[in-house]
Structure 1
Amino acid sequence: MSTFIDLSHYFEDGMPGFRMKDEFGKLIQYTAQIKPFLTHEQSAPNYEGKACFEITEITFQTSIGTYLDSPYHRYPKGRDISEIQINEVILPGVVVDVRDKEKFESIGVNIIPNGLDLNGKAVLFNFGWDKHWGEEEYYSYPYISEELINFLINSGVKLVGVDTINIDSSKNPERPAHTLFLKNEIFIVENLTSLEKLYDHDFRFFAVPLKAKKTAAMSIRAFAEVK
């Protein structure tokens, strides 16, 4: 019988997200706003007081929470979220333990266990950085090196996930992971959590987004099926 492990952060009003400067140098904080569009009290007259419903309104940038990047995120002519097939984001997975890394530290090929088969798989890196979710520390994180990026591409991976806010170093404007992975149709999932629960398990990883057109990224309910 299968067990399902939730790998997603809560999606909630005022949640933490990216920070990016606008054209004037002002720091913009990505977040979500969640509020009633129609309350139970407001809807009750429509049903003669015999029933009532809430309609909720959510406003957010798509690169927030636990989310999936499509090639369109990096490349104007790349496939968008709606063009990703379901079988491309339900994959056998492996988790790599890199919890001993420090902020701004890059990781190389040496962290991949010898003989680990990565072909056709979702490879998830557990930095343990989800423990800093909602804290200032979350914005200073370790990341994967270009050497490891190329190794993963050559190993035939289909998706790479991390439990940090960005798979790339915020100090590198070339963004090599996004540039190279998405160029090769390898999807990226960021802001994962609870990856340590996958150790010593065979699992399938699920990262299915809404079928949203002209959308570069999308929040997901990431989870693993463990047998």
Structure 2
Amino acid sequence: MTDYRAVFDAHISFVNGGSLSADGFRLDLPSDAISEAEIGRLLVQHLGLALVADVRLENLQVIEEQHRGSRGVEPLAAVATADFRLVELSHTIREGMVTLPGIPSPGIRPHLTREQAVERYAPGTTFVMDVIDLAGNTGTYLDTPFHRYEGGSDLAATTLETLVDLPAEVFHLTDADARGIPASVFFDREVRGKAVLLHTGWDRHFGSPEYATDAPFLAPGGVAYLAEHGVTLVGIDSQNIDDTEADAGGERPEHSVFLAAGIHVVEHLTGLGELPPSGALFTAVPPRVEGFGTFPVRAFAKVPA
């Protein structure tokens, strides 16, 4: 289904005096068959304005562009069990892949080959068993408090209720001007109990040297806001939720705040551009391993068909 947005300059006046102007404003639309007056109404509703006297739009264009979550435009309905499609959000793990420089690449070796199985089983019956050497921070993975804090809860302590079919709020930020994602991005959505997924588009560099340099991250103000508003999980399609550049001094404020609060972190997501701003259900489940703080997940989302 194609998304549409309006691009325009606006001048809004108020019945009790004063005015508000905007240049190059973009607004989600329910369809491309919509009048200028209705776009003006949606603008007022999106901004939450009161006592509006007049709305004038200039240089109005309706374009095909992914929705960003404007208020007043109904999100896709909650996913019904019989009426959804699944969207893959994980990178494929393969032998020798590089998730980040310094993280060991996976190694896969046979424990039992099919040739060896011939000697163990009945004629025509063979099996293969393999061993994988795998760092927890490989591919798309989930961080638990144990990853950051001694004595924190580990993978075995995670509850399925905090990992499966979480209502997702997806913030499409591929055209953001700055690397750090500020708190103000989240002000127009209810995020309590949600999986907040940050679509930066950085996953296009996964597996290349560019992936580890100048990557987008969640600014400290953003992490404080999301933690205070009770999110369940935060995911990003970048190489880290924190700023990992040298001038950040090795600090990890995002991991520190989220994991202290028991908020899951999922990094190295991919495919977030296929999700609507609201209405999807997100799942990311690791194996139940004691004494381990982070591990790859099969992350995916249900979206209306």
The TM-score, its normalising length taken from structure 1, stands at 0.91
Number of corresponding residues = 217
In the alignment, structure 1 residue 198 sits paired with structure 2 residue 198 = no
Match of 1:126 among 190, 194, 199: 199
In the alignment, structure 1 residue 177 sits paired with structure 2 residue 254 = yes
C-alpha deviation, 1:165, in angstroms: 1.6
Preserved CA contact (<8 Å) 1:98 1:111: no
* Structure 2 counterparts to residues 71-86 of structure 1, below 5 A: 71-86=145-160
C-alpha deviation, 1:118, in angstroms: 0.3
Partners of 1:75 and 1:29 lie apart in 2 by: 20
C-alpha deviation, 1:110, in angstroms: 2.6
Deviating runs (4+, > 6 A) in structure 1?
none
Aligned to 2:171: 96
Match of 1:43 among 104, 117, 127: 117
User: Percent identity of the aligned residues?
Assistant: 35
Partners of 1:118 and 1:201 lie apart in 2 by: 10
Aligned to 1:211: 288
Match of 1:11 among 74, 79, 93: 93
Preserved CA contact (<8 Å) 2:103 2:135: no
Q: Which amino acid aligns with 2:121?
A: Y
Alignment partner of 2:169: what SS? strand
Partners of 1:83 and 1:34 lie apart in 2 by: 28
Aligned to 2:34: none
Partners of 2:145 and 2:292 lie apart in 1 by: 10
Q: 1:145 to 1:201 in 2, by over 3 A?
A: closer
Preserved CA contact (<8 Å) 1:144 1:167: yes
C-alpha deviation, 1:54, in angstroms: 0.6
**CA offsets per residue over residues 11-32 of structure 1, 9 Å max, x none?**
111111233xxxxxxxx34221
Partners of 1:150 and 1:201 lie apart in 2 by: 22
Partners of 1:30 and 1:180 lie apart in 2 by: 27
Q: 1:155 to 1:201 in 2, by over 3 A?
A: closer
Q: Which has the bigger relative contact order, CA under 8 A and spacing at least 6? A: 1
Partners of 2:256 and 2:212 lie apart in 1 by: 21
In the alignment, structure 1 residue 138 sits paired with structure 2 residue 220 = no
Q: Which amino acid aligns with 2:293?
A: A
When Rg is computed on C-alpha atoms for both structures, the one with the higher figure is 2
Partners of 1:224 and 1:182 lie apart in 2 by: 23
**CA offsets per residue over residues 96-136 of structure 1, 9 Å max, x none?**
0111247x821212322x43110100000001011111111
* Structure 2 counterparts to residues 48-67 of structure 1, below 5 A: 48-67=122-141
Partners of 2:182 and 2:266 lie apart in 1 by: 19
Partners of 1:89 and 1:46 lie apart in 2 by: 40
Partners of 1:29 and 1:11 lie apart in 2 by: 13
Preserved CA contact (<8 Å) 1:201 1:226: no
Higher strand share: 2
The TM-score, its normalising length taken from structure 2, stands at 0.68
Preserved CA contact (<8 Å) 1:17 1:64: yes
C-alpha deviation, 1:200, in angstroms: 4.7
Preserved CA contact (<8 Å) 1:62 1:219: yes
Q: Which amino acid aligns with 2:272?
A: L
Q: 1:136 to 1:166 in 2, by over 3 A?
A: same
- Give the root-mean-square deviation of aligned CA atoms: 1.5
Q: Which amino acid aligns with 1:154?
A: E
Partners of 1:175 and 1:181 lie apart in 2 by: 10
Partners of 1:169 and 1:10 lie apart in 2 by: 24
